[in-house]
Chains A and B, each alone.
Chain A
Amino acid sequence: MFDNYRDVDERYVTDTTLVDVEGLHFSRGENDIFRGVDLRIPKGKITAVMGPSGTGKTTLLKLIGGQLVPDAGRVCIDGEDVHGLSRRALFRMRRRMGMLFQSGALFSDLSVFENVAFPLRVHTDLPEAMVRDIVLMKLQAVGLRGARNLSPAELSGGMARRVALARAVALDPELVLYDEPFVGQDPISMGVLVQLIKTVNQALGLTAVIVSHDIKETLSIADYVYIIADGQVMAHGTPQTLDVNRDARVKQFVHGEPDGPVPFHYPAPDFYRDILATKGERP
């Protein structure tokens, strides 16, 4: 169905691929979450992975980060199969990745400064003065240098996410994974985050994967978009091509229409019969 897109986009994508996901299958219990997902994340670009809630977007990030193991298929980062690595090699690979979690996931027992310093202290033997310089630089970039002595509990949701962003890029990773970075943010901090992700990406020349269902914000910064539904890639392309996609499901998602191929109603018996049912017939 989407073959025509593939021909066009293949050239766009293949120049340099950092993350290559092939035929990914994953299930949790009885639920098939992915049934053969193929993705190519180009180097130095912002790639968005979108889809309705509950399609396993966060799971996809965990598969890329090597925290979950797929039932079938491969995830290659820079040519290395993530799930074929030894534990030690995996941890070494994770030094080249940063991840921004939905909730920020700041360590509640450490101050803002120590949170950002944490990856540096764990992975490097830099002298204290250098650690301080790097941390202040990263905090300056997200505009929270003044908040370095606060504890995570004292931060607002948007601030916590900005600190988490500073922590995610503390080691200057090649790949940053953003898990729902815009969810539950007020318009101002949303704007700040969108701007930050974009500038950080350009300044550090890193590759970003954004998982989100906030269409407007995501499409405004993404270079390339994958839409996932029903465990498969439903559509992919640049934001412009998706905007004019005529497929009903893509249209419903991209334009946020309440009813369409994805029904508004949870499956139920006919409404009038249900309403008129006597007590005895109720399930």
Chain B
Amino acid sequence: MIRPIASLGRGTLEALSALGRASMFLAQSAVGIPSREGWHLWLRQMHFIGVMSLAIVLVSGLFIGMVLGLQGYTILVGFGAEDALGQMVALSLLRELAPVVAALLFAGRAGSALTAEIGLMKATEQLTSMEMIGIDPLRRIVAPRLWAGFISMPLLTVGFSVVGIWGGYLVGVQWLGVFDGSYWSNMQSSVAFVDDILNGMLKSVVFGLVVTWIAVFQGYDLIPTSEGISRATTRTVVYSSLAVLGLDFVLTALMFGELG
């Protein structure tokens, strides 16, 4: 009887202390705003995190847009409302699919790589030796990665949306014969710049921060063995996927909850 309660208590305390460490970690690294001399460090991470994730995000966006076009058409044509296809594709992408799917892909592609990279630096004592030389690794290693992830994510999301809308256009208009003008005009009359596009972007900014935060923290906090690194990499993907989906619900409730 006592053991399960004790282990619950221990689990809670451990979770709280990890959360505390993670918050301290974020606060200490976020002050390392890219400076002029740190510019090339940041640039390198933008390349590694953002540019290298672009291909997978764009290809996925195209396919998701095409599937939306196809599925949406078969449903809408039953009501004779296939003209509303553009509206459906654009709204589902901008509000939900682009921020969420791009963040999930980002966690798998860039997040796990970040964890493994920082973990390896820790295992090979690079972080400790940096500290001994008198440089704070939070500023030099973690901060540029955090900022690069934070900035890349909305850009990737924009790419995802644009390509997805184009994919829906390809399938709906070019292939299935929805009228070109109604695809765009229905979209324009129903998509609001602030409510839909900016809110979607806001989501992606939050996701970008959370995913990169989880990834670099898992890398920094792991046990420096090969097993520790592989576990932390898995944890990064699992935690950040859960965090993205959970936060998506919260943000959706806050942003779109009163509509209807």
Interface positions of A (Cβ within 8 A of B): 62, 65, 67, 91-92, 94-95, 97-99, 101-109, 118-119, 122-123, 164
Contacts and interface: CB of A to CB of B under 8 A. Distances in A.
Contact of B134 (A62, A107, A122): A122
Contacts of B128: 62, 67, 101, 105
B134 A101 contact: no
A99 B134 CA distance: 11
Interface of B: 44, 120-121, 124-126, 128-135
Contacts of A108: 120-121, 124, 126
Contacts of B131: 67
B136 to A, nearest CB: 8
A117 to B, nearest CB: 11
Contacts of A95: 134
A108 B120 CA distance: 10
A103 B133 contact: no
Contacts, number: 43
B134 A103 contact: no
A171 to B, nearest CB: 9
B132 A103 contact: no
23 contacts: A62-B128, A65-B132, A67-B128, A67-B132, A91-B134, A94-B132, A94-B133, A94-B134, A101-B128, A101-B129, A102-B125, A103-B125, A104-B124, A105-B129, A106-B126, A108-B120, A108-B121, A118-B133, A119-B133, A122-B133, A122-B135, A123-B134, A164-B129
A104 B129 CA distance: 9
Contacts of A107: 126, 130
Contacts of A65: 132
Q: Which of A95, A97, A105, A109 has the most CB of B within 10 A?
A: A105
A131 to B, nearest CB: 15
Contacts of A101: 125, 128-129
A28 to B, nearest CB: 13
Nearest to A170: B133
Contacts of B125: 101-103, 105
Contacts of A105: 124-126, 128-129
A259 to B, nearest CB: 30
Contacts of B132: 65, 67, 94, 97-99
A65 B104 CA distance: 41
B213 to A, nearest CB: 21
A105 B132 CA distance: 11
A118 B141 CA distance: 14
Contacts of A97: 132
B74 to A, nearest CB: 50
A273 B128 CA distance: 48
A164 B129 CA distance: 10
Nearest to A101: B125
